[in-house]
Structure formats: structure tokens, C-alpha cells
A and B are shown apart, each in its own frame.
Chain A
Amino acid sequence: MSALDAVAYRRAATTIARWCEWYTRDLDPSVAKARRDEVESDLHEHGVYAEELGISPNSLSRAMLTRLVLGAVQDLSWRRRQIRQAATRPEIARNRLSAGGLPVLAYTLAVMLLVWGGFVTIRIGVSLGRGEWWYGSDLPVTVLVSALSCGLGLMLMTRARTRSMGALWLMIAVYGLVRYGGKALVYSSATYSHLAFTVPGWDLGNRGVVIGLVMLFLAMAIWWWPSRPDPRLAIVQTSSV
């Protein structure tokens, strides 16, 4: 049996072709096609070369996959270069923000908010356990629901399809945890109540944090809102293949 017909060779070739499809996605169709065709030719020539030398299909497959792995970073670097060449300056700035800064900030703040929610919930729980909580159940329930909303929002934000919804959930969590969580701590933490009553502008700062975080998560929700694929783009891509 020819090396080109061996299962091991075909599997490796399919893996490499898929990888190539992945890193050339959304690129200029002519550039993407040129790279795929070139890699396809390379895989074929590699198979023929291995056959001439009598290399076993398994060794050939290993060599092909090694070439894939060793060049993967360069593939991604080439992709980045293609994207940058195709993009205009405002697009580059926007991509940098959407790919790095803002999402990282949103995720970090969401995690911090969850930690804060956990802390306030535990603090209220301790006060309840000691029998030191005399202020009704509204605040503990609000904080607990907000902490759960925060956890849910964070979970939704981990998936591309639902991250916009996650950011919206976090807006609710922000209000509940920062505003009502603060109030709950006034009743359950001596340090917090001391700060709240002695530091000038504490309440104003608290409101500022709430507004700032709500605005940020609203902006992220809009930014991440799933967009419909442009039908014109689909036509261009289909016709160019």
C-alpha cells in the first residue's frame, strides 16, 4: 500500500489541513487559499518523498505532525501579520482593545466582585450565626442573590456566545453587591462601619464605583453583543472559493 493511502498519513494530513483552515480563517480569501494550497502541496510532496525513501507511514505521520507543532507559533505570527496588514489604524486600535485590555479588565473586575460577594455573604452568615444580625432578611437575601448573579454572569462570560448576557448579569450583581453589600457590612463589620462614617465622601465613592462598574459592564455587553453575519460577506466568500 502507498504511504499516501495509509491511514496514519491521511490522519496527519487531515489534522494539518484543519489547523491550516483554522489559522487562515477570516483572512483575505486569496491569501488564505494560497496558504492552504501551498500546505496541501507540501503534504503531498512529503508523502511522495517518504515513499521514495521507504519511510513507514507511522514515521511519516510523526514527522508531519512534528513539523506542524514546531511551526505553529510561526503560523500564528504570520496570521497576525496578515490581519495587521489588512486592518486600518482605527481597526488595529479597536482590535487591541477588544482582544486585550478591556476584556481582561472586565474579567478581572468580575472575579474581584465575586470574591467581594463571597466575603460579604460569609460576613453576614457569621453575624447571623452569632445572633448579631437584627436587620431583617432583605439585605442578606439581596447580597446572596447578587453573589449568585455574579457567579452566573462570570460563567456566561467564559463562552463567546453568552458573554454579552454575562456582562448584563454582572450589572445587576454590581448594584446588589457594592451598594447593598456595603450597607450589610455597615451592620456586620466594625471596620467597615468605622470607615463608612469617618472617611469623607465614602458614600459618594461607593456610588461612583457602582456607576463606573455598571457603565463598564454595559459597554462590554454592547461590545460583545453577537452580530449577525453580513450576507454580502458570505456572498463574496462563496464566490471567491
Chain B
Amino acid sequence: MARRKPGALFPLEVNILECGLALQSTGEDFYGFAMARQLSRRDDGKGLTAHGTLYKALARMTEAGLLEAEWEDATLAEDQGRPRRRLYRVSGEGEIAYWRARAMAATPAVALRTAFA
């Protein structure tokens, strides 16, 4: 299993944060399957993320404080005739981590170019 440096994010986690922020910005609900669908769209219709991969990542990110999670009101779900969703929200810490990861992803390319200049 891949090990990571403290504070670093896995590519899937960066993608989840990016898609989560996108869902939040359009006012859509951010829950497990919505995230799987969004990730699939982002990857040009590549299959939906596996249950284990997705929910393990969401649980890990919630524990790390990158996401906030709460269960939807059961009555609302019942009224719509479906199981209740676990709704997520990218936290302030998650947003900072996302932008930091983006910045870090951009840095090595510059360093590499400098090294070979």
C-alpha cells in the first residue's frame, strides 16, 4: 500500500476535494454516489469509483478534518422513497489542503525544468 508524507494528499483525495468544491459551488448535494458520478465525469466517463476505494477515502478524509459529514434528515429521505444520504462538505482545512496540493503539484515541474536547464 502506498505510503505518504505527512500532510500530503493522495491523487484520489485531491480529486475528491476538487469535485466536492465543484458540487458545493453549484449547490448540489455532496454524498458518496454523487462523488462517484462526478469523479467518473471528470475522468471522461471512466467507470464509477469502487465502493471500498471511495468510502475508505471519504472516511479517512473526514477523520483528518478535510471533510465534514452529517446524515441527511431521515424524514426527507423517506418522503423521497430512498435511503438517507450521508452528506459531506469540504471543510476550510480541506480547501486549504486542496490549494496546497495544487501548488505542490505545480512546483516539481518548475524544479525539473530548472534542473535540466
Q: Mark A34-54 against chain B: 1 for CB-CB distance below 8 A, else 0.
A: 110111111011101100000
Contact of B31 among A40, A41, A70 (CB under 8 A): A41
B91 at the interface (CB under 8 A from A): no
B1 at the interface (CB under 8 A from A): yes
Residues of A within 8 A of B50 (CB): 66-71, 74
Q: How far is the CA of A38 from the CA of B59 in the complex (A)?
A: 11
Q: Are the C-beta atoms of B48 and A46 separated by less than 8 Å?
A: yes
Q: Are the C-beta atoms of A39 and B86 separated by less than 8 Å?
A: no
Given contacts A41-B31, A41-B33, A42-B32, contact A72 B52 (CB under 8 A): yes
* Stretch binding the partner chain, chosen from B13-21, B77-85, B102-110: B77-85
Total contacting residues, chain A, CB less than 8 A: 28
Q: Are the C-beta atoms of A39 and B55 separated by less than 8 Å?
A: yes
Q: How far is the CA of A48 from the CA of B37 in the complex (A)?
A: 12
**Smallest CB separation, A129 vs chain B (Å):** 56
B65 at the interface (CB under 8 A from A): no
B101 at the interface (CB under 8 A from A): no
A77 at the interface (CB under 8 A from B): yes
Q: Are the C-beta atoms of A67 and B48 separated by less than 8 Å?
A: yes
Contact of B86 among A41, A48, A77 (CB under 8 A): A41
Residues of B within 8 A of A66 (CB): 47, 50
Q: Are the C-beta atoms of A77 and B1 separated by less than 8 Å?
A: yes
Residues of B within 8 A of A202 (CB): none
Interface-centre pick from A40, A46, A48 (highest chain B CB count, 10 A): A46
**Smallest CB separation, A205 vs chain B (Å):** 43
Interface-centre pick from B36, B48, B51, B86 (highest chain A CB count, 10 A): B51
Q: How far is the CA of A49 from the CA of B47 in the complex (A)?
A: 13
Given contacts A16-B51, A63-B48, A66-B47, contact A41 B59 (CB under 8 A): no
Residues of A within 8 A of B34 (CB): 45
Q: How far is the CA of A67 from the CA of B53 in the complex (A)?
A: 9
Q: Are the C-beta atoms of B83 and A40 separated by less than 8 Å?
A: yes
Residues of A within 8 A of B37 (CB): 49
Q: Are the C-beta atoms of B86 and A78 separated by less than 8 Å?
A: no
Residue of B nearest to A78 (CB): B56
Residue of B nearest to A85 (CB): B63
**Smallest CB separation, A37 vs chain B (Å):** 7
Residues of A within 8 A of B97 (CB): none
Q: How far is the CA of A71 from the CA of B52 in the complex (A)?
A: 4
Q: Are the C-beta atoms of A67 and B56 separated by less than 8 Å?
A: no
Q: How far is the CA of A74 from the CA of B54 in the complex (A)?
A: 9
Q: Are the C-beta atoms of B33 and A75 separated by less than 8 Å?
A: no
A73 at the interface (CB under 8 A from B): yes
Q: Are the C-beta atoms of A38 and B56 separated by less than 8 Å?
A: no
Q: Mark A137-168 against chain B: 1 for CB-CB distance below 8 A, else 0.
A: 00000000000000000000000000000000
Q: How far is the CA of A168 from the CA of B82 in the complex (A)?
A: 53
Q: Are the C-beta atoms of B52 and A46 separated by less than 8 Å?
A: no
Q: Are the C-beta atoms of B51 and A75 separated by less than 8 Å?
A: yes
Spell out B's residues near A (CB within 8 Å). Answer: 1, 31-34, 36-37, 47-56, 59, 71, 82-86
A-B contact sample (9 more), CB < 8 A, given A71-B53, A71-B55: A37-B86, A38-B32, A39-B51, A39-B55, A45-B32, A45-B34, A70-B52, A70-B53, A78-B56
23 A-B residue pairs with CB within 8 Å? A16-B51, A37-B71, A38-B55, A39-B55, A41-B32, A41-B83, A42-B36, A42-B55, A63-B47, A63-B48, A66-B50, A67-B50, A69-B50, A70-B52, A70-B53, A71-B49, A71-B50, A71-B53, A71-B54, A74-B52, A75-B56, A78-B52, A78-B56
